[in-house]
Chains A and B, each alone.
Chain A
């Protein structure tokens, strides 16, 4: 399947993964433990405290995952606050990028995405197919390159003006086989784009489905 040298992307992915994992290890130089949240906490988007004060831990409970409620460690009210963390002098660089953090933050987003979406494909195949899926999604969102896949993108004019995003960027990708079929691959990705009305968004989730043809891989809906 791979017609091009693939060791460089694979090596890059490996470096990103190792780097991302290293950033999550408490005590590494970039993540001082003094200001870190609970050890099981996911990485935060912001730096840590920025000026002097108590280093008291705000909570003994790990933060929740997005869809899992956690038991509240304490009901906080104006009269009885349960957490008192004043900023400290040490920055606490996190392992992930802030919302809207720009292209340089994408490596961290990719590292976290790779960790959460491990691929079951050979690295070279995964690199090739995620690249292809990125091109398909760019065509989907910007209109550029749609003619490469005439079966996937209909040529007829829609009733409204074509809705294309600007400043589109693929932040992270992950490929894995679909339905246990060797001829089907699903590529999940996170992307950035601004709507024609000016609404910016990043970490936008999307999925591209690919199927193997006699000589190539093609997107399918």
Chain B
């Protein structure tokens, strides 16, 4: 993610307008009646609209291209796209789907870089990866050139398929996952399909987590315009994006020096900033709501949004919590809609906007609306 550490106060103000307003606007775009449709979900989960179009289109074509395939949805392709390239983050996507500059992965020369210890000799004459000796994964779904070549004719029967075209690679991904006609509504078959894409249980967990997240968001109830109070809370948090994380830092007046020391050894007394709950103190303090100091305490007030309801039950302005059975609540962020939150994530980091984590989600608390 980009760093905003050097942004001044004016920069923060401008940033808040840029970040928050779209984040709020996208929530009202979700259509609960048709979560799979193209336009209404165009901004869900921070997915660029053009990538979403590619995902929805590819999923929709499976009923024709692989009639035996069941359960292919845009969320499945989006899960792969999120994990592989964060939906082509940092790249431009033209109206025709072409991604520039092209997404080209590490050189797979077996050197161990990036964990690659098995060399993959060139298969495309350097056409897609610019390397005539070894292959690189290419495109937003990070296909190997040889694999993509096997789908090129089905993706564009007239020729011209390009792995750095969002439509082409999304369609190749859908075709690969559908195989000869998998039933992806069956969780075990879905997991096997993802595992076949990349032989790693951690990878499967990661993709499944995002599929669930997008599925939940795609069926969430539109919240419409948020109140001025909620806007003030979100704008207050957004105005602090880029401020350092400080263990024990932050109060209703703003950033402050924290205390020594976190379990991991951060001396907050030397860092001016916020910890996760300190950021909540500041944001909600702007509207006269005085919160307790720590995340687990903050989880105990207001209207509780149970984790079992999923993140679709959250509304912008809710606090969103993370925890597990052994440690309890250990983190809090401010939900801003569309599966996104503003939070002070960890020592050594800074306040930022991020997707709601796909694990340890512990529900929310609503103290303003």
Contact = CB atoms under 8 A, between A and B. Distances in A.
Contact of B142 (A65, A83, A161, A202): A161
Contacts of B287: 78
Interface string A86-121: 110001101011111111110111001101110000
B301 A65 contact: no
Contacts, number: 337
Interface stretch (A9-17, A127-135, A192-200): A192-200
Nearest to A188: B326
Contact of B83 (A42, A156, A197): A197
Nearest to B117: A143
A161 B134 CA distance: 12
A37 B264 contact: no
B10 interface: no
A161 B137 contact: yes
Nearest to B367: A76
B116 A162 contact: yes
B263 A77 contact: no
B294 A48 contact: yes
A215 interface: no
B366 to A, nearest CB: 8
B14 interface: no
B290 interface: yes
B199 A153 contact: yes
Q: Chain A, interface size: which category?
A: 35 or more
Interface centre among A62, A81, A91, A221, by most B CB within 10 Å? A81
Interface centre among B108, B265, B302, B362, by most A CB within 10 Å? B302
Contacts of A69: 304-306, 308, 363
Contact of B288 (A72, A79, A140): A79
A158 B116 contact: no
Interface in B76-97: 83-86, 89
Contact of A44 (B1, B307, B329): B329
Interface of A: 35, 37-38, 41-51, 58-59, 61-79, 81-87, 91-92, 94, 96-105, 107-109, 112-113, 115-117, 137, 140-144, 153-154, 156-166, 172, 193, 195-206, 221
10 contacts: A50-B258, A68-B306, A71-B304, A72-B304, A92-B293, A99-B346, A160-B144, A196-B114, A205-B359, A205-B360
